[in-house]
Structure 1
Amino acid sequence: MTPSAGPGAGGKWESQRSFDELGRSLRDVTFCVVDLETTGGSAQGGSMITEIGAVKVRGGEVLGEFQTLVNPHQAIPAFIAVLTGITDSMVATAPPIERVLPQFLEFAQGCVLVAHNAPFDVGFLKHFAAEQGRPWPKFEVLDTAKLARRVITRDDAPNCKLGSLAQLFGASTTPNHRALSDARATVDVLHGLTARLGGLGVHTLEELQTFSSRVSQAQRKKRHLAEQLPHAPGVYLFRDDRQRVLYVGTSKDLRTRVRSYFTASETRSRMGEMVGLAASVTGIECATPLEAEVRELRLIGEHKPRYNRRSRFPERVHWVKLTVEPWPRLSLVRQVLDDGAEYVGPFSSKKVAERSVAALHEAFPVRQCSGRMAKVPSMTPCALGEMGRCLSPCDGSVTPEAYDGVVHELRTALVQAPDAVIGSLSHRMTALAAEERFEDAGSFRDRLAAFLRGAARTQRLRALTRCPEIVAARRDDDGRWAVHVVRHGRLAAAGVIPAGAHAGQWVQELQASAESVSPGPGPTPSATAEESEKILRWLESPGVRLVHVEGEWTCPVGGATKHLRVHDAVNESRANLVPFDDRRSIRPVHQPVR
């Protein structure tokens, strides 16, 4: 891939570098700590706000306070009045939320919102903003209750309620269920939590938002490994002290994603072990997210990192092959060859591939014995031949012409129309269900599904890989056009049209600089199936425009994809019919015979 334009070519990636590369220091962040008193627990259920209190702080200094009662235009429940001390007479002359909310939003403008149990307070504010048709500002939100649960142990405090934390950190204000007092107490809790976390190396807002006690101090000390990475899409590689690749990942923002491994949001024990071994991190900038995903796949296939569980061995897939020989048969193979045979797949496991073969044998009685067979065989029939489940060419029970006719129908089912397979297995399932042999019917359903998925995958991949070139573009959120050149199912070039550039000329230059790709046998000769499928998903996503297509990009109208959609729709309907919203799979219960 040869990106002709990417980070630094103008646009938002370049502007992202203007931020403090290490994150926003907590000393420089302005927080607006807010608390509400309400008539109940649910704004959607009709509860109203009765009081708003807020404190604006930065660097430990109070910049301002906001407090007002709010007329809820409904009676305050007695137990709420006892709890908060706010009565109907106190709010009778207070302004309504329609007047108070704009004032609060102006007070909190540009701040990071902080609340204890933030979903409650922020949820109420957002609800009434929506009711008033007022756009909700894109506040960053910090929940001191959530943060405390990550930091405070039972030895510190019995729980993470505001009163317990205020006592733990020696708050100057005792929370009493009045909005301003509770907000002031929350300020002291916020400062107590940040002071404690400062000793653990948490000094920025980003680190505070993602902190987890499950990340060890040794992991945090390695966060400097992310400092040289850019805020841009791409691929990152963790390496050990011998430069062996431990893990490959992709992100739309390399620096932010890699930093999370050392701060908090990555808490999987396996990843913690990997970070412990890491000595360096390499970043590869990519022009587009799709290019990053493809590079990730290729790097995983090349290095086979021990901590990448998926896609490490793309060569370990299975294909179902219809052989080319005097008496063709179905065979499981690991590789697609240029031998004129038909292939279906790839299948991720041998078990699924075997189900697909079983489905085909149910519909087409071709021989199931292994090895080549002479054009004029003189053998005794196998058990399947004696049972009538095989045409039995071994003993001359079928003529070459009749056998070829069945093979032709089988080939049609593989590459064009699977109706014969669907009809045969549906008939078996119906018969088994009539005999109440539901588990046996289910096994035939699984065989049919395995075949349909494999055939649909093959047909879609073949449609893409037989095209010498496809050029497609999509406008991204920043208004710029991402362009990809795909040749025989392989991503050959990717880029973003720079602002002010002549689009047609730029695309021609991208095509000229793209990787040369030679066609080959089978659906995915020039790339792994996983890469081609990622490209397909992007090509089929909303907003993609085809700039140039060389060849015919079409799938059979009556192909497996259509039937697979019907099969999946039936299964989804069956799941949705489960009563009481219980989506667990239903299996028959065998009752003992009495």
Structure 2
Amino acid sequence: MQMVQETFDDLGLALADVTFVVVDLETTGGSPSGSQITEFGAVKVRGGQVLGEFQTLVRPTSPIPPFISVLTGITNAMVADAPGIRTVLPQFLEFAAGSVLVAHNAGFDVSFLKAAAAETGRPWPGFAVIDTVRLARQLVHKDEAPNHKLSSLARLFGAATTPDHRALHDARATVDVLHGLMERVGNLGVHTLEELQSYSARVSTAQRRKRFLADAMPAAPGVYVFKDGRGEPLYVGTATDLRRRTRTYFTASETRRRMAEMVGLAESITPIVCATPLEASVRELRLIAEHKPRYNRRSRHPEKAVWVKLTDEPFPRLSVVRSVGGDRAHYAGPFASRRTAEAAVTALHEVVPLRQCTGRLPLRATRDSACMLFDLGRCGGPCIGRQSVEDYAAVAEQAVEALSGSSREVMSTLRSRLDALAAQERFEEAGTLRDRMMALVRAAARAQRLRPLTAAAELVAARRRDAGGWEVVCVRYGRLAGTTVTPHRADPLPYIAALRETAEVVEPGAALAEETELVLRWLETPGVRLVDLDGSWTCPVDGAGASRAELEPQASTWSGIDHLDPNHRAWDRPAGAVPAGVP
């Protein structure tokens, strides 16, 4: 068993070990724009103990307005001999170095501090900041205090110092308010700085108390499975760091309502450490397809994907099917729905006069009359003997080319029809034809990209890792059969040989299309090297992929447009061009 060293960040910083600097500023106005700091007050605390205090007046470059003097008690005479901000700010930054800043209405104080840093030419250190107003709004109810002002909270928590708009007094009062608020969140299971920073009342107490489920997760890449009390998977996900990712489900950083509901039902989390990110993605996909967790929305029903099939028979026809068989038929897809598959079939029927009747036709005609499509010239009539097997084969070959080879001729014909409909101002029909075209070209392009990989008995590829060594994958018939990682500076060949010996035995047709696409995207990433290939890996130069690359930008240009303007034909514009009047 591989032991994973827990890092400081993984464990989280206990609140008792955090050094806080509670700061309060008095200023000449309410905004850094046109106003300046007149007094600093700060208290450094850790573990409930005061470590030091910082207090000084600051001489502004402009007079203090009378109403500000009335509010704070700081007069122009008091600051006349005080040091300027260029002297005070470096001293404060040194006092606060390495700490977490705390302020009541922190946005006000931090904005003045950042403005002072910019004015004096000093870089802002990027302190972590806790705002006691934000915390109080979530932890203090209206029946406890009339509002969330510092004076009201100081009374509620029994602060030893009464706030009076003098910086150090207000900072001391804020320290007591901070400790009172931390005691409350501690009772809710918040014990680290990270949890305090992300605390939100939106996260239920029950949800927060389940945080311990993530504590056993390794700090390693892989797949995590949330399970209910019966051990049934609720949700499956992937992460580059399992512990860090699963912890987010118990904090305010997780904003999805259904995930909060899922966590409420979860009783355990099962980690599956993976050698490579590709393995994690594939395992996630397989687990979702197998268990169909109720809180996963995608990839749950790969069996519902449909394909367009050109049947393998003397007089082939197009059919919408649920799976790809091991026959010599030609396929396009998969499609997400039967509706889009039928749209692609209709588009191909617009151009190629295939028969549209169902059932297998005998070699010799047995019918006396043909359907309406024959009368319209949309079918050659093989059912009545008007078209031989050889003649029909030439028609079927056009469909084969559109699905498996060149789609240029079919797409060119469809474009011409689209332009003709637009010129006749038959915009609704043109829009329907456009949608059918895109359904056909997308599915054919997808099938043409996947087919070489699903047909290859074995493919081995490698990609260099940032940390040294190689990620190596073995793919058989489009399915990830195995993966490994080679050590830095080690000869990868023995590891590749071992991988091939131990990889999964895969039968043709066993891979999910979505898994093959995941593998293909990995193979197409920069830096991947092909080690060995038992098969061929080619795509037609003028296939559906080329047509899709040309049409997709134009289709997206027209997305949401209810009509086609014949004066601005999509096909005549460069890819990505936008017609006049279209935002």
TM-score (norm 2): 0.79
**Deviation digits for residues 452-511 of structure 1 (CA, Å, limit 9, x no counterpart):** 2212222222233344213221424x5665443333332233333334x51424643553
Q: Which residue of 1 aligns with 2:551?
A: 567
Greater radius of gyration (CA)? 2
Which aligned pairs between 1:324-363 and structure 2 lie closer than 5 A? 324-363=312-351
Any conservation in 1 of the 2:445–2:548 contact (CA below 8 Å)?
A: yes
Q: Which residue of 2 aligns with 1:261?
A: 249
| SS of equivalent residue, structure 1 residue 249 | strand
Q: What is the count of residue pairs matched by the alignment?
A: 557
Q: Which residue of 1 aligns with 2:225?
A: 237
| SS of equivalent residue, structure 1 residue 221 | helix
Query: 2:312, 2:474 → 1: CA distance?
Result: 35
Question: How far 1:124 moved relative to its partner?
Answer: 8.0
Query: 2:155, 2:257 → 1: CA distance?
Result: 34
Any conservation in 1 of the 2:472–2:496 contact (CA below 8 Å)?
A: no
Q: Which residue of 1 aligns with 2:516?
A: 532
Q: Which residue, 464, 479, 482 being the options, matches 2:453?
A: 464
Q: Which residue of 2 aligns with 1:485?
A: 474
Any conservation in 2 of the 1:175–1:185 contact (CA below 8 Å)?
A: no
Q: Which residue of 2 aligns with 1:63?
A: 51
| SS of equivalent residue, structure 2 residue 234 | strand
1:279 is the counterpart of 2:262: no
Query: 2:123, 2:470 → 1: CA distance?
Result: 29
Q: Which residue of 2 aligns with 1:558?
A: 542
Any conservation in 1 of the 2:37–2:112 contact (CA below 8 Å)?
A: no
Query: 2:70, 2:550 → 1: CA distance?
Result: 60
**Deviation digits for residues 386-432 of structure 1 (CA, Å, limit 9, x no counterpart):** 33333332233434333222211211111222223322332233233
- Letter matched to residue 382 of structure 2: P
Larger mean Cα displacement after TM superposition, 503-512 or 114-123: 114-123
Any conservation in 2 of the 1:452–1:564 contact (CA below 8 Å)?
A: yes
Larger mean Cα displacement after TM superposition, 195-204 or 340-349: 195-204
| SS of equivalent residue, structure 1 residue 222 | helix
Q: Which residue of 2 aligns with 1:578?
A: none
RMSD of aligned alpha carbons: 4.2
Question: How far 1:451 moved relative to its partner?
Answer: 1.9
Q: Which residue, 457, 465, 473 being the options, matches 1:475?
A: 465
| SS of equivalent residue, structure 2 residue 397 | helix
Any conservation in 2 of the 1:112–1:139 contact (CA below 8 Å)?
A: yes
Q: Which residue, 406, 417, 440 being the options, matches 1:417?
A: 406
Any conservation in 2 of the 1:118–1:142 contact (CA below 8 Å)?
A: yes
Q: Which residue of 1 aligns with 2:529?
A: 546
Larger mean Cα displacement after TM superposition, 46-55 or 300-309: 46-55
Cα 1:151–1:481 change in 2 (3 A) is farther
Query: 2:381, 2:89 → 1: CA distance?
Result: 83
Question: How far 1:562 moved relative to its partner?
Answer: 3.2
- Letter matched to residue 351 of structure 2: A
Cα 1:137–1:96 change in 2 (3 A) is closer
Question: How far 1:179 moved relative to its partner?
Answer: 7.2
Question: How far 1:516 moved relative to its partner?
Answer: 3.5
Q: Which residue of 2 aligns with 1:298?
A: 286
**Deviation digits for residues 305-352 of structure 1 (CA, Å, limit 9, x no counterpart):** 233332222222111111111111111111111111111111122222
Any conservation in 2 of the 1:162–1:175 contact (CA below 8 Å)?
A: no
Which aligned pairs between 1:156-175 and structure 2 lie closer than 5 A? 169=157, 172=161, 174=163
Query: 2:57, 2:353 → 1: CA distance?
Result: 82
Query: 2:319, 2:214 → 1: CA distance?
Result: 49
Question: How far 1:371 moved relative to its partner?
Answer: 1.4
1:225 is the counterpart of 2:213: yes
Q: Which residue, 308, 313, 316 being the options, matches 2:296?
A: 308
- Letter matched to residue 436 of structure 1: E
Q: Which residue of 1 aligns with 2:182?
A: 194
Larger mean Cα displacement after TM superposition, 528-537 or 330-339: 528-537
1:515 is the counterpart of 2:503: yes
Query: 1:71, 1:518 → 2: CA distance?
Result: 79
| SS of equivalent residue, structure 2 residue 302 | coil
Cα 1:262–1:396 change in 2 (3 A) is same
Question: How far 1:144 moved relative to its partner?
Answer: 4.5
Query: 1:554, 1:79 → 2: CA distance?
Result: 80
Cα 1:335–1:77 change in 2 (3 A) is farther
Cα 1:93–1:253 change in 2 (3 A) is same
**Deviation digits for residues 263-283 of structure 1 (CA, Å, limit 9, x no counterpart):** 444454433443333333222
Query: 2:555, 2:110 → 1: CA distance?
Result: 39
Question: How far 1:135 moved relative to its partner?
Answer: 7.8
Q: Higher RCO, 1 or 2 (CA under 8 Å, sep at least 6)?
A: 1
TM-score (norm 1): 0.78
Query: 1:459, 1:41 → 2: CA distance?
Result: 64
- Letter matched to residue 558 of structure 1: D
Question: How far 1:559 moved relative to its partner?
Answer: 2.7
Q: Which residue of 2 aligns with 1:206?
A: 194
1:23 is the counterpart of 2:6: no
Q: What are structure 2's unaligned runs of at least 5 residues?
A: 564-583
Cα 1:573–1:586 change in 2 (3 A) is closer
- Identical amino acids, percent of aligned pairs: 56
Query: 2:187, 2:236 → 1: CA distance?
Result: 31
Query: 2:13, 2:469 → 1: CA distance?
Result: 28
Q: What are structure 1's unaligned runs of at least 5 residues?
A: 1-5, 9-13, 576-584, 589-594
Q: Which residue, 370, 383, 386 being the options, matches 1:381?
A: 370
Q: Which residue, 387, 394, 398 being the options, matches 1:405?
A: 394
Any conservation in 2 of the 1:490–1:517 contact (CA below 8 Å)?
A: no
Q: Which residue of 2 aligns with 1:454?
A: 443
Query: 2:468, 2:118 → 1: CA distance?
Result: 28
Q: Which residue of 1 aligns with 2:573?
A: none
Any conservation in 2 of the 1:7–1:232 contact (CA below 8 Å)?
A: no
- Letter matched to residue 559 of structure 1: G
Larger mean Cα displacement after TM superposition, 228-237 or 262-271: 262-271
Cα 1:400–1:219 change in 2 (3 A) is same
Any conservation in 2 of the 1:41–1:47 contact (CA below 8 Å)?
A: no
Cα 1:299–1:86 change in 2 (3 A) is farther
Any conservation in 1 of the 2:309–2:321 contact (CA below 8 Å)?
A: yes
